[in-house]
Amino acid sequence: MEYKDYYKTLGVERDAGQDEIKRAYRKLARKFHPDVNKDADAEKYFKEIGEAYEVLKDPEKRTAYDHIGSSWQEGQEFRPPPDWNAGFEFRGGGFSDASGNYSDFFEELFGGAGMGRSFHGRRGGIRAKGEDHHAKIMINLEDSFTGSVQIITLQLTEVDETGRIVVRPHTLNVRIPKGIMEGQSIRLAQQGGQGFGGGPRGDLYIEVAFHPHRLFRTDKKDIYLELPITPWEAALGATVPVPTLGGRVEMKIPAGSQSGQKLRLKNKGLPGTTAGDQFVVLKVVVPRADSEAAKEIYEKMAAVMPMNPRSALGV
């Protein structure tokens, strides 16, 4: 059967409040009431409006509809989940204007109950796992290298003991595993949306992102660092200190190195079963000729070591 978008029927957004839903219903009900509107399709629209309002006005029905229908879109074939059973009761009043004739879609979800009556689902009600929730956390690169615990607070929507939808803060201690890469997610079992009819809570998936680092950038488990060196270190070779996430190390610069050349420090990236590497990208920094002595040195270099670095360009 076709999935029905009750929010579209009433012309409201999915996060609309109850007052907005009520206003939208009353406006459309007046417009399409068969005693007022004599168009051929008015009665059909009036029934659809009444069915949509019957679901969206009631916190329990609305929450169940949002959850069970979250995987379907308008026009798609609707199939109830296999655990659509066991012990969830809905109660709610209705409007006498509506006839109580509901679509197959409504009956499949709610058992065909009439407006204003208590009812159990035709198959015993709804029992289903809660929705999986998704969040994002920003951490420092060092938190991935050493592992850490982050405290986060999320706002969760739940149905309280009276059937009202409430928003409650939920604070969690999230363990950041060593070597987690940017874009990976941490799964926290049963920390997601509230289940229905005794069903388990959904899971919470927290996507990890890194704060910009003043020295390093990452590519999966590999770390990249741009390392400034002097012209004589590049030309003659040298051993220089290099920062890594694990502390300073000494690295050999080969003689004749050039800007843009990439050197590797094995296993100095993010840890893991196979650790990443740190790649050091050389950047030759040329001293300024800001004194007569410096100018003389550059002029002597030009005379002793003439070269055309643009020869490969044909100029």
Q: Is the pLDDT of residue 138 over 60?
A: yes
Residue 116's pLDDT is: 37
What backbone torsions phi and psi does residue 286 show, to the nearest 5 degrees? -90, 125
Residues 49 and 28 in one domain: yes
Domain boundary residue, one of 210, 227, 251: 210
What backbone torsions phi and psi does residue 291 show, to the nearest 5 degrees? -150, 165
149, part of any domain = yes
Residues 43 and 116 in one domain: yes
Q: How far apart are the first and last CA of the chain?
A: 73
Residues 270 and 249 in one domain: yes
226, part of any domain = yes
Please tell me the distance from the alpha carbon of residue 174 to that of residue 153, in angstroms, as a whole number: 10
Pairing of strands 133-139, 204-210: parallel
Residues 291 and 204 in one domain: no
Residue 111's pLDDT is: 59
Domain boundary residue, one of 210, 231, 257: 210
What is the domain count for the chain?
3
Residue 68's pLDDT is: 67
What average pLDDT does this structure show over 156-166?
69
CATH number at residue 14: 1.10.287.110
Residue 155 structural domain = 133-210
Domain boundary residue, one of 195, 210, 225: 210
170: buried, middle or exposed (CB in 10 Å: 19+, 13-18, 0-12)?
Answer: middle
- Chain segment 184-217, per-residue pLDDT in tens: 999 999 888 877 667 788 899 999 999 999 999 9
Q: Taking all residues of the chain, what is their mean pLDDT, rounded to a whole number?
A: 82
The Cβ of residue 209 has, within 10 Å, a number of other Cβ atoms equal to: 11
Percent of the chain with pLDDT over 70: 79
Q: Which residues are within 8 A (CB) of 19 and not within 5 positions of it... i.e. 6 or more apart?
A: none
- Chain segment 218-263, per-residue pLDDT in tens: 999 999 999 999 999 999 999 999 999 999 999 999 999 999 999 9
Is residue 158 very low, low, confident or very high in pLDDT (cuts 50, 70, 90)?
confident
Residue 252's pLDDT is: 97
Residue 30's pLDDT is: 86
Residues 152 and 178 in one domain: yes
Is residue 119 very low, low, confident or very high in pLDDT (cuts 50, 70, 90)?
very low
Residues 154 and 116 in one domain: no
Residues 277 and 221 in one domain: yes
- Chain segment 46-63, per-residue pLDDT in tens: 889 988 888 888 877 787
